Chain A
Amino acid sequence: MNNVCVYCEFEEGRIQEVSYELLTKGRSLANQLNCKLEALVLGEGLNGLEKEVSRYGVDILYMADDKRLYPYTTLPHTAVAVGLFKQTHPQIVLMGATSIGRDLGPRISSSLTSGLTADCTNLEIGEYEDKKAGKKYENLLYQIRPAFGGNIVATIVNPDNRPQMATVREGVMKKETISDTHKAELIYLDAGQYLRDEDLVVKIIERHMETSKVNLKNSSIIIAGGYGVGSKENFNLLYELAHTLGAEVGASRAAVDAGFTDKERQIGQTGITVRPKLYIACGISGQIQHIAGMQDSAMVISINNDANAPINKLADYVIQGNLETIIPKMIRYYKKNIK
């Protein structure tokens, strides 16, 4: 009881990466809290998943295998999760900040009157003092996220309500298995016990899932453009450099909002988190939300007109000037020097 529970997202025959990342984080939180790690998987055709899920150190795996639970719709998943949590009283519930997690999380939190923090970039355990009420709390979940356009970082706590809920984007946490032989205790849930007819009111008529053409997460070199790139046309310079170096092109939110490139290239708190060998930031000023998505890059080169751009502080190399001048030179001297 009062364990850490991760809602694992099931899509097209497998558990999503973000869920494994959260199980890894959940394992370390459970160790600190001296409690168990639970996983909840809802879907259809789940047989055999227990082996993979167990490797992340899951103690108890709840599974409900029912055709009404796949593909995902809001109310059936809410009904089973809320029903289970009312019995098991987890102290922490984690889920991916995905299309599904961001649809389901708030619904569960409202049903259970518990606090939910979206898009956390870090989770820690710590204490909290409510000075007004003169109360001290121990072992609370610190839900850490950039806020207010990324100008500040806030630590959120849920002192009184349980579970403490948080969503986290894919790639923010690292995934790591604990043991290949570890076996979770498997508990099958009967979905019928939780579902009512009115939970099935939304019907899926059509569904097209696409695999993303952009593979930022696994790229060892990323050329990222910000608002300072100036235009969609100028982004072509970035594609050229990326093509030459065998890199992928990313972008800051400002560049995506300005229509310079697609949303699927967005790096940062509300985009993708990356850890490449080399990150070349072009015309990116470096708001916290963006930094949150690239700060673990091994090497950073900043190309910027503005000598005082915040991102320069993170950079190993700062090239001051116009990218229209600099990028063609980088391409030329790369080609000249590579064998």
Chain B
Amino acid sequence: MYKIIVLAKQVPDTRNVGKDAMKADGTVNRAALPAIFNPEDLNALELALEIKDQYPDTKITLLTMGPVRAAEILREGMYRGADAGVLLTDKAFAGSDTLATSYALSCAIRKIGEADLILAGRQAIDGDTAQVGPQVADKLGIPQITYAEEIISLHDRTIQVKRRLERGVEVVECTLPVLITAHSTAPECRPRNAKRLMRFKRATTLSERHTTAEDYLAVHNDQAVLITEWCAKDVNSDLVQLGLGGSPTKVRQVENIVFQAKESKVISTDDGEIESLMQELISQHTIG
């Protein structure tokens, strides 16, 4: 039996940024962006589920850090096959950079305990830093295998992984425990399972139960699954290393970029105009 923790993040869908994504004052209008399960974290979940297919008594715990709302992705993960969810949420985490985030996650991983394998997406689409995976591995003092495309084999606590590099592929082998980050070329996550959807759709955190009082009875009569919710104190973290204060990096300035506008010449699709543009480019030796 393997004990796997999958790290996941709820992210604004920056791939489909609309015109209302920015407020007039130049700040990001988070409310206008849908919140989604970070895509490569779903690849990581699939790699975990493949191991569970092979070793059915494997236990997969999905761990996320974020606001109360982030429990949405824990449910989503449970619909797809994760056995349990843990939400790490606390105002003390606000403003965390990657290092402070990694520290908080590593405390929660220690609290869950005895993980053989930690899987995470390579990077989140809202930051693209790819730093949290390796930093968590460092905090836990375990090795890392980044950019995993495929888990080739896992026997007797030895794992073989195919890595997708910028300029090639590599197959590496390591004994557990290890932290693996999944590349977008890893298998796509399986869809929701209808039975699991019925079983987990009322799975909630304590905070969610408190805010939806009218559902209180319904939830409790159902004996719905309780999603674990931990605060900074629950995971025995050192407050000094959390949040803005625990982050070595500070944002000095954020600005909207104003392009240095050139004087553009507007051309129509008329044959004559396009021909004279091509002639001009040829005579300047820009082309040809």
Chain A contact residues, CB within 8 Å of chain B = 71, 73-75, 78, 98-99, 102-103, 105-107, 109-111, 113-119, 128, 130, 142-143, 146-161, 201-212, 221, 245, 254, 257, 270, 277-278, 287-288, 291, 299-302, 307, 310, 312-322, 325-326, 329-330, 333-334, 336-338
Q: Is the CB of B259 within 8 A of A314?
A: yes
Instruction: For A287, list chain B residues within 8 Å (CB).
Output: 17
* CB-contact partner of A321 in B144, B255, B269, under 8 A: B269
* Distance in angstroms between the alpha carbons of A207 and B28 in the assembled complex: 42
Question: Which residue of chain A lies nearest to B164 when distances are taken between CB atoms in the complex?
Answer: A99
* Distance in angstroms between the alpha carbons of A118 and B122 in the assembled complex: 13
Q: Is the CB of B282 within 8 A of A338?
A: yes
* CB-contact partner of B252 in A106, A142, A148, under 8 A: A142
* CB-contact partner of A205 in B160, B251, B265, B278, under 8 A: B160
State how many angstroms separate the Cβ of A120 from the closest Cβ of chain B: 11
Q: A149-B15, A312-B264 are in contact. Are A103 and B251 (CB under 8 A)?
A: no
State how many angstroms separate the Cβ of B87 from the closest Cβ of chain A: 23
Instruction: For B144, list chain A residues within 8 Å (CB).
Output: 74, 103, 107
Instruction: For B254, list chain A residues within 8 Å (CB).
Output: 147, 152-155
Q: A151-B28, A152-B254 are in contact. Are A278 and B168 (CB under 8 A)?
A: no
Instruction: For B264, list chain A residues within 8 Å (CB).
Output: 302, 312-313, 315-318
Instruction: For B253, list chain A residues within 8 Å (CB).
Output: 154-155
Question: Which residue of chain B lies nearest to A204 when distances are taken between CB atoms in the complex?
Answer: B172
* Distance in angstroms between the alpha carbons of A227 and B128 in the assembled complex: 20
Instruction: For A151, list chain B residues within 8 Å (CB).
Output: 17, 21-22, 28, 256
* Distance in angstroms between the alpha carbons of A89 and B130 in the assembled complex: 25
Chain B contact residues, CB within 8 Å of chain A = 12, 14-15, 17, 21-22, 26, 28, 97-99, 102, 125-135, 137-139, 143-147, 160, 165-175, 178, 247-257, 259-262, 264-269, 271, 274-275, 277-279, 281-282, 286-288
Q: Is the CB of B28 within 8 A of A99?
A: no
Instruction: For A142, list chain B residues within 8 Å (CB).
Output: 252
* CB-contact partner of B168 in A116, A208, A319, under 8 A: A208
State how many angstroms separate the Cβ of A80 from the closest Cβ of chain B: 15
Number of contacts between A and B (CB, 8 Å)?
245
- 23 residue pairs A–B, Cβ–Cβ below 8 Å: A73-B172, A99-B146, A99-B165, A103-B134, A106-B138, A109-B131, A110-B135, A114-B248, A118-B131, A148-B12, A151-B256, A155-B252, A201-B174, A206-B170, A207-B168, A209-B167, A212-B167, A277-B286, A291-B257, A299-B286, A313-B259, A317-B265, A326-B274
Instruction: For A319, list chain B residues within 8 Å (CB).
Output: 266-269, 274, 277
Given A110-B139, A288-B257, A301-B277, 20 additional A-B pairs, CB 8 A: A106-B132, A113-B99, A118-B129, A118-B130, A160-B248, A201-B175, A202-B173, A203-B172, A205-B172, A207-B168, A207-B169, A209-B167, A287-B17, A313-B261, A314-B262, A317-B267, A318-B266, A329-B271, A330-B278, A337-B278
Q: Is the CB of A313 within 8 A of B262?
A: yes
Q: Is the CB of A152 within 8 A of B256?
A: yes
Q: Is the CB of A99 within 8 A of B248?
A: no
* Distance in angstroms between the alpha carbons of A326 and B269 in the assembled complex: 6
Instruction: For B277, list chain A residues within 8 Å (CB).
Output: 301, 317, 319, 330
* CB-contact partner of B15 in A160, A257, A315, A325, under 8 A: A257
Q: A147-B127, A208-B169 are in contact. Are A320 and B135 (CB under 8 A)?
A: no
* Distance in angstroms between the alpha carbons of A119 and B128 in the assembled complex: 9
Q: A107-B137, A149-B21, A329-B274 are in contact. Are A157 and B250 (CB under 8 A)?
A: yes
Q: A107-B144, A333-B275 are in contact. Are A157 and B269 (CB under 8 A)?
A: no
Question: Which residue of chain B lies nearest to A129 when distances are taken between CB atoms in the complex?
Answer: B252
* Distance in angstroms between the alpha carbons of A293 and B51 in the assembled complex: 39
Instruction: For A206, list chain B residues within 8 Å (CB).
Output: 169-171
* Distance in angstroms between the alpha carbons of A278 and B277 in the assembled complex: 13
Instruction: For B26, list chain A residues within 8 Å (CB).
Output: 152
Q: A207-B168, A313-B264 are in contact. Are A116 and B143 (CB under 8 A)?
A: no
Instruction: For A103, list chain B residues within 8 Å (CB).
Output: 134, 144, 146-147
* Distance in angstroms between the alpha carbons of A106 and B279 in the assembled complex: 51
Question: Which residue of chain B lies nearest to A328 when distances are taken between CB atoms in the complex?
Answer: B274
* Distance in angstroms between the alpha carbons of A310 and B268 in the assembled complex: 18
Q: Is the CB of B128 within 8 A of A270?
A: yes
Q: Is the CB of B250 within 8 A of A149?
A: no
